[in-house]
Amino acid sequence: MKYIVCEKPGEFLLKEKDPPVRKAGEALLQINKVGICGTDLHAYAGNQAFFTYPRILGHELASVVLEIGANERGIKTGDRVVVMPYLSCGTCIACKHGKTNCCTNIKVLGVHGDGGMQEQITVPSTILLKANHLSDNEMAIVEPLAIGAHAIRRASIQKGETVAIVGCGPIGIGIMKLAQIAGARVIAIDTNEERMQYAKEKIGVDFIVKAGKEAVTEIENITNGDLCTAVFDATGNKFALEDCPNYMSHGGRFILVGLSKGELTYAHPKIHAKEMTLMCSRNATTEDFEHVINVLDQFPTESFITHSVDFTEMISHFDSWLQPETGVIKASVNFN
């Protein structure tokens, strides 16, 4: 079977190997489509932390079961399944408290081990969710949307709140739509005019605000001076992360979804005066995946996936997906 491997930063190779053999407790899957995420882009660029090469990337997967044994979810051969790519240990302090998303020993497909950029793959049956009613495009975006669903759940967003989401990339866009579904009024913040217009026209956010020195004033005008009860960062950008508390109301929450590699600095009196709740949101749990599957019909999947190519053409297109001028929101690779 054919597979694509990132041999080293900046180099993909299309290779062949024998199909995998299913072990007890595993399922053998046919991969139909792989979504490209920020982790894949960073790994290719050589700036993904804790990453080793060579590595088969890909953890946003649309797949069909080729072989499977008895399992608790009643999944059978021929079922279409979403893959939850986080392999948790089940025994650490986080897992014992239901926080499998931040397991102390977590392994992620396509990051710590080989992922789905291959025609077939074996995975534990326990990380599969039946999704026979979803298209390949829909299945391939469940995982990034689940990250947004987890952030919304972490923040306990309530109907009628006004929230700000900083960053109109794939994760930010997902948070915006899921915040709307939760009943919130949404302000999208970014510097990219094209992506802000997408958030306004396709996602239907209530307001768009360009990041910069006037942003706080604009948000004050929108909220009659109250600012936002919850602010989500989906950029991982140091400057954006340090600005976010300025958009937050007194008594508000600041949710860090994007990951920054460096240190962040805040003026303690300013965040203390607001009694700011600071929380991080990492990965997603089964509950988040199930929520996304249930509400996915409310998401503009077809406009969200802006670029799609056959796996035999991916290597020649991948570099362009790193360039903002190509207008990529979500790219995907077809294996079947």
pTM above 0.95, yes or no: yes
pLDDT tens, residue order, the chain (336 aa): 999 999 999 999 999 999 999 999 999 999 999 999 999 999 999 988 778 999 999 999 999 999 999 999 999 999 999 999 999 999 999 999 999 999 999 999 999 999 999 999 999 999 999 999 999 999 999 999 999 999 999 999 999 999 999 999 999 999 999 999 999 999 999 999 999 999 999 999 999 999 999 999 999 999 999 999 999 999 999 999 999 999 999 999 999 999 988 899 999 999 999 999 999 999 999 999 999 999 999 999 999 999 999 999 999 999 999 998 899 999 999 998
How far apart, in whole angstroms, are the C-alpha atoms of residue 160 and residue 181?
Answer: 11
Please report the pLDDT score of residue 49 as a whole number.
75
pLDDT at position 166: 98
Beta strand pairing call for 120-124 and 26-36: antiparallel
Q: How far apart are CA 144 and CA 100, in angstroms?
A: 17
Degrees (nearest 5) of the Cα angle 54, 60, 63?
Answer: 105
- Report the pLDDT value the prediction gives residue 47, as an integer from 0 to 100: 86
What Rg value do the Cα atoms of the chain yield, rounded? Answer: 20
Tell me what pLDDT residue 275 has: 98
Q: For residues 115 and 85, is the Cβ–Cβ distance under 8 A? A: yes
Give 181: exposed, middle or buried? Use CB within 10 Å, 0-12, 13-18, 19+: middle
**Token pair recorded at residue 222:** 């929108």
Instruction: Compute the distance between CA of residue 62 and CA of residue 59 in angstroms, rounded to an integer.
Output: 9
Q: What pLDDT score was predicted for residue 48?
A: 81
d(CA 130, CA 306): 26
Domains, in order of start, for the chain: 2-132+300-334 (3.90.180.10), 148-280 (3.40.50.720)
Q: Residue 336's pLDDT is what?
A: 87
- What distance in Å separates the CA atoms of residue 183 and residue 163, rounded to the nearest whole number? 10
Which residue do the tokens 């995982």 mark?
143
Asked if residue 188 lies in contact with residue 219, where contact means CB atoms within 8 angstroms, the answer is no
